[in-house]
Amino acid sequence: MTELLKAEHLSKNFGGLKALSDINITVFDNEIFGIIGPNGAGKTTLFNNITGFDIPSEGKVYLEGKDMTEKNVTLFCKEGIARTFQNIRVFSQMTVLGNVLVGMHKNMTSSMLQTILRTPSQRREEREAYDKAHEVLKILGIDNVADKLANCLPYGTQRKVEIARALISRPKVLLLDEPTAGMNPQETDDLMHLIAKIRDLNITVIVIEHNIKFMLNLCNRIAVLNFGQLLALDVPEKVKVNPEVIKAYIGEGEE
């Protein structure tokens, strides 16, 4: 297996609060990697520190062996990192297609003048962007709502729009922060199959979730955080029966 994303001795302090303490994780190419833990365990803080939205107080972040520790979020994006957020962030007054095309912005090369003049190269690039957007929408099963306003769609579909926008640039790593939030059981099951399909596109996926059953059925490996510390990191079968994990998070007797 090839190392893709690595956090080494990662710590994050907010004043006197230690949100992360000496976290060491390695995510391999083409796997689905899960992060679970109670509220306040440091899951989203970890996401923010390995995607350039925040800078660690200590430690290093590597992407394909390249030190990304103090790089900003734009550079992370250019290197192939894409993410979604706990709270849906779609442009409500834009169409689904428009939302997805926003994700192509960093890949567009036409200048403002070329765009104003509608040069042949600009028109060709625009057509290619539209084709890629429709392709991603089809993969996610929402190409039939491409022309609808995002705020007119069910919550679960809006989640897929956000994922589509992250996918449009074909990132190396896609990070999903609580993607099943607000979804009904059928939508959750559909999303599980969708994430597996994304992985099959040779995109590594990292997921934060509270839905333990979802994570046990989805992930190749799972990291368990508790009070900002790494409690366990193993395959789902071993995480499920780990006494410390059961005590801290899953709960006695839960299947």
Q: Are residues 40 and 162 in the same domain?
A: no
State how far the Cα of 114 lies from the Cα of 192, in Å rounded to an integer: 42
Q: What gap in Å lies between CA 165 and CA 90, rounded to an integer?
A: 9
Contacts of 116 (CB under 8 A, 6+ apart): none
Residue 137: CB atoms within 10 Å:
22
Q: Could you tell me if 137 and 75 lie in one domain?
A: no
- Among residues 242, 95, 70, the alpha carbon closest in space to that of 161 is found at 95
* Paired residues of 14 in beta bridges: 17
In a domain? residue 88: no
Assess if residue 85 is contained within a domain: no
Residue 202 counted as domain residue: yes
* Per-residue pLDDT band at 251 (split at 50, 70, 90): low
Q: How many CA atoms, within 13 angstroms, populate the side-chain half-sphere of residue 153?
A: 28
Helices (H), 59-95: 73-78
187 occurs within a structural domain: yes
56 in any annotated domain: yes
- More confidently predicted of 36 and 181: 36
Q: What is the span of the domain harbouring residue 137?
A: 96-170
pLDDT at residue 255 tops 50: no
CB 177 within 8 A of CB 146: no
User: Given a cut of 70, is residue 152 above it in pLDDT?
Assistant: yes
pLDDT in tens, 63-75: 999 999 999 998 9
Looking at 90-104, 138-152, 238-252, which range is the least confident one? 238-252
**What is the maximum span of the chain, computed from C-alpha positions, in angstroms?**
66
Radius of gyration of the chain (CA): 19
Tokens 């003049």 locate to: 117
Residue 101: Cβ within 10 Å count: 19
| 179 lies in the same domain as 250 | yes
Confidence band of 115 (pLDDT split at 50, 70, 90): low
Read off the pTM. 0.86
- What's the CA gap between 210 and 253, in Å, rounded? 17
Is a pLDDT exceeding 90 seen at residue 13? yes
* Cβ-contact 155, 88 below 8 angstroms: yes
**pLDDT of 253 over the 80 cut:** no
Based on the fold, state whether residues 111 and 127 are members of the same structural domain: yes
Q: Is residue 90 part of a domain?
A: no
Q: Are residues 76 and 175 in the same domain?
A: yes
Domain count, the chain: 2
Q: Both 114 and 234 in a single domain?
A: no
For the chain, what percent of residues have pLDDT higher than 70? Answer: 89
